[in-house]
Structure 1
């Protein structure tokens, strides 16, 4: 599959089919993946906005909770009519989980006149809704006043004795329930300070600098490339694939059955196939490659980008679009599924109590990604592949060494999980 232009007015991603054999391809464009600005870009949606959105006059964000506020100026005809005489309207974001692959693209021409498409994956989608802070200000006559406490407050009242209250220590179950409540969520959001953002108008130096950063700096990080150019880029880049390998070292064995030009291609294709994070049996992955790629070569490539859980392959957590704490949590979940065969959610929540970036809801999302619920516990979404474990004993032993290392790495978390 490649990006092709069927005519000079239309750009699309086209797969060869019987119906477009007669539709001539007049241009082919290289596509590169440029992840450098992934965590900085936000996709803003205005589902209730029926007029063109103007540039905000001010912006602020709460990074930890992903809340964005924008002050949008109002036309003069609106601000001078009505009850409130507003100079601007404030929009606040509602974070929407990104359920599909969304990218921002930029077409770039090189000095030789060749065009390439650079894609930045978007992980933050925010729906902007108008707030009603101006209504609250009208209801509260003291909202706009700077009222300070009276220095002459009666000392007897300030020094009033309060009774000593004894309270039972909060149980772990009660702590989990409290931290998953809506009231706790709102209190946590209101407790985070706003960080003011600089608003840069179009065609400014800052905007031009950011748009230049969209262009992929590492041309080895590609999404789709013509096969001839893939070969020219991949030949000297074996070290990149080596850097992804997290398995115990196997000197001289990893690429013994892969030609240099195919190493990165196979690993990239496996990563795309498994990018949703779901467990996939080897038989399904095997069917996606031609017989020219030997089983041993494909298994070595899988050891670069995937982990094996009870005979089933899952993409390595570090290759998913997750923050580092969630990568750690997902790998721990895969370890529990591999070593225990099942996971109890109350125990899992207990392990990550106090981790501000690993909420109970995010743990549930990861569990739904890799597992399914049966009765009171969660198990791997795909049944164990005992035949694979038996037929490919060497590969199974290699991945078992990896999980033994993880048992040491997660020993403190495992101790909390196994507490009665």
Structure 2
């Protein structure tokens, strides 16, 4: 209770300290609200007002709210007569050059100047007030104009003097360039084309277009009336509210509502955007609130990191691609896209993760086929075959695939006396693994057995790339026949096995009779080796793998398709200038291997290259200091940094500060 009394006393004391001195009624007048302009002169000193200056002319553009005044210049005080005469003569002559008979300056000197207006910003909350009969009368201002001297007429005079010519020899007759004979010039004809919305927005917002629109509005001549004139007094009376006795107050509105009614807020400015409706500038984006920014980003769709493809569709496409690589080593993006129905960009990103693009072939699985792993762990291979069979059943339901995979040949079993078109059975994945196990177990005696052994039953196998392949010429008690077909771009393992059989047979024949190798085969193999051999280093296994891939692209009647033995391959390598290099293993548990490299490339750096290759005969790893010292000792000079890196990176790879030979693996 005591606190309330103290608070009440404090409020009374504050009212006593700030007493009401006088109450003034405020009236809002609307008589001149649409035609009342407040003019300011920011470059004019307050000690030199224009009140006592004569205004000779006045004009206005109501739509643009522009005003121009021609005010007299005092030619008596602080005036340079010579400069004034020169200025008046130049301006008047420019008018005569344009064919205007009226002179700008009636006298011989510059006796007037033009004041041009510029609309001030944020002038919608100003009003003009006048006190009358102990009441304040307020009238809203239409616009606030800042008047500054304008010298456009002087600029026109300078441009006119630059183009017009005064002929003194002909009594001062003025001749312009347009009167002279004009040369014939080519004219470029342009045809109008439909204008897009974006181009139209740019054109409307351009400075040239705005200047053209402003120039289209004509000036309206106005009469200037002095402040002491009777008509000015009558106009000033309109600033007051004539019906002071008729006071109507709406006591049902709040104080804020009354202020809004007294001074309404400015209308919202609708800015013309130069961008299309679906594009938002970063400046406009920053002016929005956070929810609006997020909404705008999602609507525009250009800055959202979320892809439009569901994740399950991407996973489904990747599973189908991996399954496809179990059936064939090479496929095409078009073939995959027809099934998974993904955009080309998304599909390409998936394929680049697991495959490599081969020119004129397609997309090849990035890793080579590991035959040794399949032979060592057939149980793992069997589980994988079963896994992909189940996976295909799932893909078949979701992607609407056929029951039998297209492009994959089924394995068939023929009886002892087969009949064409009958007595065929499909071998399952498990049976295929069992046959592969049986053939792998008999691989030890493959060299001592014949391919076409005596038997009455035959098994015809077309093994796709996803299944287990055989590396060499297998032998068994049964007569096993591998189908011999030309290799297509998919490079099936059955055809690869056939090539390896032929290669093994050719090697055996070559060992028995080296003179049996035809010269045509030697020439063809040498040409092929010259094409693939560059400054890199190769192992024999890599060359044989590339040979098999190349043979798969040849026709059956090609001489290289019949097989190339190791001895023939080594002979051709030696004849084209390739040197056999014994590679020292990095680990003591490994055995040395044979590498093949060109010692000379017919370049200036060949002397350093030979020194580098000789160093690796005894050591598996070398430091840069050892290499450079050996090069200086053998050649008498050291290579620069650019030469050194080029030579070493051709055949070596580094790990830390050590360099070792790095043969190509593909």
Pairwise TM-score range, normalised by the shorter structure: 0.3 to 0.5
TM-score if structure 1 supplies the norm length? 0.47
Specify which structure has the higher proportion of helix: 2
Based on CA coordinates, which of the two structures has the bigger radius of gyration? 2
TM-score if structure 2 supplies the norm length? 0.31
Q: Which has the higher contact order (CA 8 A, sep 6+)?
A: 1
